[in-house]
Amino acid sequence: MSARRRVGVLVSGRGSNLQALIDAAQMPNYPAEIVLVISNVPEVQGLIRAEQAGIPTRTINHRDYPSRETFEAALNDALKQSRVELLCNAGFMRLLTESFVSCWLDRHLNIHPSLLPAFKGLDTHARVLAAGARITGCTVHFVRAAMDDGPIIAQAAVPVLTGDTEAILAARVLTAEHRLYPHALRLVASGEAQVRGEFVDGMPKGPAEPALFSPPLRGSS
């Protein structure tokens, strides 16, 4: 296999998506390896997960820097030192400047717990429930300067069910996130998914998966 792409992961908290990427990268044929995990929040679970997997970690606390630019310069220094080629946000909750985003253009991934471009931003699941949506999901996309915006790499659909609370729906979507993020990173690291303009090449040619209907179709309909 050709050399694995060197990946840095940015976290701010629990790091369950980081864990999914760590687990995937331990597979022998996975085209990426995680070489650095950076948290902007000290002592979070994401850092502990990385340490347990033997991955180098850094805490770069945005509160220790006088501006976004100086904080991002520290991020870039650390990423450069570790020769990071691809960057993954995994629950990283800081907006990044246009200058940082352009440094990592088309090499920087984010996961968001909705079917983008719907429900960008915070409190996604509460807003999905309030809107009465029947299907939600998650998206991995290339990062652009606007929040939760950029060319879509992969999505997974998840039904909204009777009796769902925000927590129940979040857990169902999170299970899909843990499958989607390693899949999307594989597509990018292997070169199968590439940006053309504002879209990503590499749409499946088939066979088509059956569509997710919610409510489900009945009999002859």
Check binding of 174 to ligand GAR (CB under 6 A): yes
Cα distances (angstroms) measured from residue 203 to each of 181, 184, 195, 200: 16, 12, 12, 8
Residue indicated by tokens 């949506």: 133
What is the number of the residue whose Cβ is closest to ligand GAR? 91
Check binding of 17 to ligand GAR (CB under 6 A): yes
Q: How far apart are CA 15 and CA 48, in angstroms?
A: 9
**Binding flags for ligand GAR, 34-63, as an x/- string (CB under 6 A):** ------------------------------
Compute the least distance from the CB of residue 114 to ligand GAR, in Å.
Answer: 8
User: What residue type is assigned to position 39 of the chain?
Assistant: S
Among 14, 107, 127, 179, binds ligand GAR (CB under 6 A): 14
Compute the least distance from the CB of residue 50 to ligand GAR, in Å.
Answer: 12
Q: How far apart are CA 162 and CA 164, in angstroms?
A: 6
Residue indicated by tokens 């629950």: 91
87 near 7, Cβ under 8 Å?
Answer: yes
Among 24, 31, 136, 148, binds ligand GAR (CB under 6 A): 148
> Hey, is 34 helix, strand or coil?
strand
Q: Which parts of this chain interact with ligand GAR (CB under 6 A)?
A: 13-17, 90-91, 111-113, 148, 174, 177
As annotated, the active-site residues are 112
